[in-house]
Structure 1
C-alpha cells in the first residue's frame, strides 16, 4: 500500500517530535515513522543512573517546558521518557510506531519512503534517526582473541551486572566518564582508559552554558568570524555530581590507551598487561543514515553535504538532530528546537512554491 503525504519524518525521538511540532505550526500534512514501539526515543534504552546535564527548565522541546523531577536537580532518563511521551500526546503528533524505514528513493517529483509498514510518497523528508542505533567500535588488534565480555555503551545498564569482575572502560568523553564513575562508586574493580588525558569542564558548567557556547560558535562562523572552538575548547567531560565524587575520591585516574587485546585482557606498547573480565567501549556513535543510501548523497568521506539542515544535493531532504553538523547542540533536547523550526519553515516554503 502506497500513501501520499507532504512530509515524512523518519524517527520519533526528540528531534522527530520537535520537527513534528513545527510542521504542525506550519500547517503541513506529515507523518512521523518511528522504529521504537513505545515513546521516548533512545532515552528508554540508557543505563539506569543516567541523568541530564541540565535542569529540567533548560532541557525542553519547543512549546512545552519539561516539568521538574522531585528530588532531582538534573532529571533522570526515565523522567525524559515520560516528558517525551506526554509531549507527543499533548500536540497529537501523528507518530506511527514499530515502523522500520529501510530506504528513501527519488520518485519523480516526490521521494518514496519504503518501510516494513508500507510506502509513502512524500514531497519532503526529515531524517531524525539519531545515532544510538549505530554504535562505533574502533578496530583494535586482538579484538577477536579476548575471551571476556565486550560491550558498547548501548549495552551497559548497572554496576551490579559486573559485581566481582575486573572491568576496563574505554573512552574519555561523557559516557566513558559517567559509566566509569558509576562502576567505581559501586566498588567495581575498574580501570579507565582514554586516548588522551581526560579534560573535565569546570565544575560550575552544565548544559545551559554548553548550549550558549555552541550557539555563539555557530553565529560566529555564520558571520564569517573566527572559530571560537565551541564546547570542545572548554573540555570533554561535564563534571556531573557522581563524576565529581569519583574524581575527588581518586577513583578516576585514567590510563593511556592500550595497543592490543589479549586472551585475558589488554596490552600496551611497552609490553605491560592488565587482565579484565569485561571491556566496555564508550567510543561514540555514527549517524544512522544507511536508509538514505539509494539517494547517493555521501561524498568521498562518507559525509552528506548540508546547508543548515538541508541536503545540498537533494533539497527535499533535511537532516535533524545529529549534533553541531545539523545545528548548534542539535543532538540535545534544548538545542534541537531551532534547527527543527528552520527545517519546517524551509519545507513549508518549498511546498508552497511547488503549489504555485
Structure 2
C-alpha cells in the first residue's frame, strides 16, 4: 500500500499495512506474498537490500547451480520455464524469481532494514520499525530464513594472517585465486564446491574437514538422489532408507573415510531431519580429492602470519583463506518480546508445525527442508490468514483506524 506523505513529501512516521507485513524478499517472502494474493489478501514485503533474492544475487559464487532438480525447488503457483535444465544455474534461478515477482505483481519496499519488530498487546498490532518508518499490522511474517547472515568462526590467530580472508558470501570465482595455495575452512556443499572451483582455476585448495560429514552422489543410476529418497520414504522406514542410501553411495563413490572424510554414525536423512545438517551432494570434488588436486586437512589449531597449524601437528603456508562456514538466522537481533524462536533464530516448534506462532506471528523458510519446506509453509500460512481476513473483513476498516490511533499515541 502507499504511505502517506506531507506537503514536503517527507515519509510518514507510521504506515498502516492492510494485510500482513513480510520481512524478507527472498524465495520465502515471495512465496508467502504470492500465496496470500491468490486468496485476495494484500501484503507488504520489507527488504533490507535493493533487490529481491539478495543472497542469490549478491552473495553467491559464479558457478553455483541448484543442487536439487528443479521440480524440488519450485515455488507455489508458478513453475520453472520448460526449457530450463534439470539443475538450473544461479542466473536462471534468479530470472525465475524475478518472473515470479512480476507474475504476482509483488513490489517489495527495498532498503527497509528492520530494526525491531514487536507485538503490542495493548492494541493488538505488530509494530515493525525500520530506519525511517514504523509499519503496523495485525499479521507479521518472518521470511528472512536460515541464511540471513554469514557465520564467521573464531579461529586462534586469524587476525595475524597476511593475506586476504573471504567468506563464501564474497567469493565469486576461482580465477581470482589462480596459482595460489588456498585454505578452505569448511567441507559442506559450499566448501566442496568452492574447492572444486579453485582447483579448476589452477589454485591448490586445502579443505579443512573438522567434523564428520555425509557425502552422497548427486545422482544414482541416472536419477536424482534426493528424488530417490523422497520416493523410498513413501514406502520404507527412514532408517532403512538411510541404510540403502549409504550402501549405494559406498558402491558408487567409495569409502570417503579413506579420503579423510568420515561419515557420522547417524544416517544422512535422519541427521538432516533432527539437526538440519545437510548431506553434501558431490558434483565433482571427490574425484579431485582422489587425484590429489584438492587436499583434505584436519581441523585448524591456529592461523599464523603465513599459513596455518593443524591439529595433527602439520604446518603449511597459504596465500589466501576462504571461509566456507555457512550462514545463520538473524531473527533474535530484531524480533522482540517473543519466545517463539530459539537463541539460534529457529522456531522452537519443529517441522511441520513451526510456521505459526501467537498473536498473528508466522514464519516461512525455517524448515531446514529447502524450497519444498518454504512452499509448504507459504501455502499453510496464506490459508490461515485468509480465513481470518474473510471473517472480520466487514468490520475491519473502522475498528483498525481507531486502534491504530490509540497504538501510535504512545
Q: TM-score range by the shorter chain?
A: 0.7 to 0.9
Higher strand share: 1
Aligned-residue CA RMSD (Å): 3.1
For 1:118-137, list aligned pairs within 5 A. 118-137=133-152
Of the three residues 245, 253, 262, the one matched with 2:304 is 262
CA contact (8 A) 2:184 2:191 kept: yes
Query: Helix, strand or coil: the match of 2:139?
Result: strand
Contact persistence 2:177–2:201 (CA under 8 A)? no
Is 1:179 aligned with 2:224? no
Cα 1:198/1:254, change in 2 over 3 Å: farther
Q: Which runs of 5+ in 1 are unaligned?
A: 221-226
Change (3 A) 1:83 1:203: closer
Number of the residue aligned with 2:47: 34
1:97 is paired with a residue whose SS is: coil
Aligned pair in 2 of structure 1 residues 283, 346: CA closer, same or farther (>3 Å)? same
Once residues 54 and 317 of structure 1 are traced to their aligned partners in structure 2, the CA distance between those partners, rounded to angstroms, is 30
Aligned to 2:25: 12
Matched residue SS, 1:144: helix
1:230 aligns with 2:244: no
1:309 aligns with 2:354: yes
Structure 1 residue 259 displacement after superposition: 1.3
- Secondary structure of 2:160's counterpart equals coil
Counterparts of 1:1-356 in structure 2, within 5 Å, are 1=12, 2-5=14-17, 6-45=19-58, 46-68=60-82, 72-107=85-120, 108-116=123-131, 118-196=133-211, 198-204=213-219, 206=224, 208-209=226-227, 212=230, 230=269, 232=271, 236-240=279-283, 242-243=284-285, 245-247=287-289, 249-290=291-332, 292-297=334-339, 301-303=343-345, 304-306=347-349, 308-310=353-355, 312=357, 314-324=358-368, 329=369, 331-332=370-371, 334-351=372-389
Cα-to-partner distance string for 1:87-126 (whole Å, 9 max, x where unaligned): 1001112422222121112232100111135221111111
> Residue 353 of structure 1: CA displacement?
5.7
Q: Report if the CA contact (8 A) 2:355-2:377 is conserved.
A: no
Larger radius of gyration: 2
Q: Is the contact made by 1:214 and 1:231 (CA closer than 8 Å) also made in structure 2? A: no
Query: How many angstroms does 1:131 deviate by?
Result: 4.2
2:253 aligned residue: none
Look up the SS of the partner of 1:176 in the other structure: helix
TM-score computed with the length of structure 2 as normaliser: 0.74
Runs of 5+ consecutive residues of structure 2 not aligned to the other structure: 1-11, 239-265, 396-410
- Contact 2:298/2:312 (<8 A) preserved: no
2: CA distance between counterparts of 1:212 and 1:322? 20
Would you say how many aligned residue pairs link Structure 1 and Structure 2?
A: 340
Residues 290, 198 of structure 1: alpha-carbon distance in 2 compared, 3 angstrom cutoff: closer
Aligned equivalents of 2:26 and 2:333: distance in 1? 17
